[in-house]
Structure 1
């Protein structure tokens, strides 16, 4: 097997899938992503990996400590590192330019692997329930066609395509399965495909989060699926948050916080805690009177029945959202004794209130860093805004949209084992 397997990440988001593959020893050639804030996050992360490989992590620490600017950080790494994050929507009129940039970055090398999955809204059950036409005809339904164009051009040995489980039931206006149309197209491109529905809590992640992971292999061989090794450690939310400082609603900051001692092992085994670098984004949203009244009801229901409150069960005076048909479990308890939390959602800053139960001694909503830990992002992962000014909304959206890093790493580790 080649030692330096290189990959391309399409629809990369903030890089959860990519980070897992990097941790497993794969090397990124480029990331393609339409969201500008996520692209800044990716550039910052790629800068970190380059600086780490060069033995210059102190430069990155200076940035996290706000001693240098984002532009200063980017100026310390080769220009091609910054260029490797391609801020483009993947569409017919952008393919030529995207291909040109990737070709330049490859410098004649063979691309071994493509990873990534199109935005999930058009396939998700929630997304379809919110749309008047069930998202039939939504252009995002057809992004897999462009994914196939990358397979045709670069002919990698494998590809890893991820998406929500709603893809299995999504159909077009003629009742045809999008998933089966995808697999047929990938076969026409020369790839056999096999898939599994993997649930993150079986791989060390404290979330009940399911994803379709489809793997394609060039040629006609079957029976190649890289079954990731399960890992179900005995760890709870209380332990995962135990070394973060106690803060109340409205407290904390995007800048580094003073950590408490951590004497256990899971945060290290999961690749989350890094004692050499500052920990950022431990910042709680403020609570208003309505939040606090709802939280009291949420906690009371949890303590008595271990149930999460549904939005329509609230009195009318406490309902401020017009959407009553989806995201009905907006208010979620995060209790210390839980071994698996509810899925961390992309709309955390708007619709999702993850309430820290009083048994963790903090009467407030979850912070971006806590959400990132539930997604198994390393503590040294910094989530950017478009402007170099921290913004919780951008951070939460990126964290919630991501594939849990540890799940990605488990897939990548097994893929390396079975590589051609």
Structure 2
């Protein structure tokens, strides 16, 4: 048996799932992801982990301070670290090359686990409601078939497949559930499967986010699903924001922000999200039109006074610009800091901040990428890259919204570690 448990992350995104498994003691062999910005984020994070193990994080600080560029920072780790991030779509024409690159990274080691889940847009209820044919015929519906090809090639003892609740009801053109289809295919490849619906707020995350976690085991067997403990939250969403500097719309710094002192029993310390020895990044607020700022102020004021959400039709006619008055009436929503969890952070936050209004009426803005990242339980030292050398707030928001909460991933990984050993 190898000294550490090796895993492969498919459809890896910016690495929320992977980060949780790394924190639990697993070692990533490779990540496969089609989005270029997310791959660059993964390369930066894998370089960070390589330096962290050697207690040599000064180059990371220099990178954030602009003293060295991204390529120079990545060069502080062996080329195998960056090469472990495979920027590629997964399909018939790419499988052979992806396998070859994973094989080179794996060497003579055995893969213990495969994690990841295909893009959720094709299965999500929102995605299907907005699509003329309910996402039927979308090729993303069948990406699980490629997942099975990785299982067939590497035959890990277990796999962890994550996706949205809509997967339980999404059907193909013949009315067959995709979920049943994929479980049948996994069984044909030698894997029994069991699943649960896990909600992030039950596992230390200050966000309500329900996901299907399907676990597969190679060979015959049942009742192998790990006992994943529920940890009731003793904190409110306020804990995610309480130490961050005051910002108004358009203010802040991508590279560095100062944090206020906190007691050692604060949520940020208990979860190891905050580390005072390293800079905090991405606390920068997007600018907003004056009309939106007026609406934000009204939404926060209504919540503060009545603990009630603003509906779109309550706005004065002068502030209403959307013709649709029948659906999506909660498009302006406050991230209430006096609740035990926020509503779900999704990738749409990259398009506008209307659904993620900061609860402090004085700041009167939407969340910063760092605030959203904290709701996803990413460590403060997690830096989100853009496709170019210059930072991209849109790319950061997209990566954060698409991610698996790190603390949820770590909880799953900790229980899976006992199974894999």
TM-score normalised according to structure 2 size? 0.96
User: Is 1:145 matched with 2:145?
Assistant: yes
Deviation at 1:318, TM superposition (A): 3.1
Following the alignment from structure 1 to structure 2, what is the Cα–Cα distance between the partners of residues 345 and 323? 21
User: Is 1:411 matched with 2:412?
Assistant: yes
SS at match of 1:276: coil
User: Is 1:385 matched with 2:386?
Assistant: yes
SS at match of 1:295: helix
Deviation at 1:236, TM superposition (A): 1.7
SS at match of 1:258: coil
| Unmatched segments (≥5 aa) in structure 2 | none
Distance 1:320 1:345, change over 3 A: farther
Q: What are the Cα deviations for residues 79-115 of structure 1, in whole angstroms up to 9, with x where unaligned?
A: 0111110000001100000000000000121111000
Contact conserved, 2:353 with 2:366, CA < 8 A, in 1?
no
For residue 349 of structure 2, what is the aligned residue in structure 1? 348
SS at match of 1:206: coil
For residue 309 of structure 2, what is the aligned residue in structure 1? 308
For residue 297 of structure 2, what is the aligned residue in structure 1? 296
For residue 218 of structure 2, what is the aligned residue in structure 1? 218
Deviation at 1:352, TM superposition (A): 3.8
Q: What are the Cα deviations for residues 257-298 of structure 1, in whole angstroms up to 9, with x where unaligned?
A: 122111133212212011111001000111221112211331
SS at match of 2:293: helix
Distance 1:93 1:319, change over 3 A: farther
For residue 101 of structure 2, what is the aligned residue in structure 1? 101
SS at match of 1:29: strand
User: Is 1:271 matched with 2:294?
Assistant: no
Deviation at 1:248, TM superposition (A): 1.2
Question: How many residue pairs are counted as aligned between the two chains?
Answer: 419
For residue 334 of structure 2, what is the aligned residue in structure 1? 333
Contact conserved, 2:2 with 2:109, CA < 8 A, in 1?
no
Distance 1:368 1:327, change over 3 A: farther
For residue 172 of structure 1, what is the aligned residue in structure 2? 172
For residue 25 of structure 2, what is the aligned residue in structure 1? 25
SS at match of 1:364: coil
Following the alignment from structure 2 to structure 1, what is the Cα–Cα distance between the partners of residues 335 and 2? 43
For residue 227 of structure 2, what is the aligned residue in structure 1? 227
Distance 1:315 1:95, change over 3 A: farther
For residue 41 of structure 2, what is the aligned residue in structure 1? 41
SS at match of 1:331: coil
TM-score normalised according to structure 1 size? 0.96
Distance 1:61 1:299, change over 3 A: same
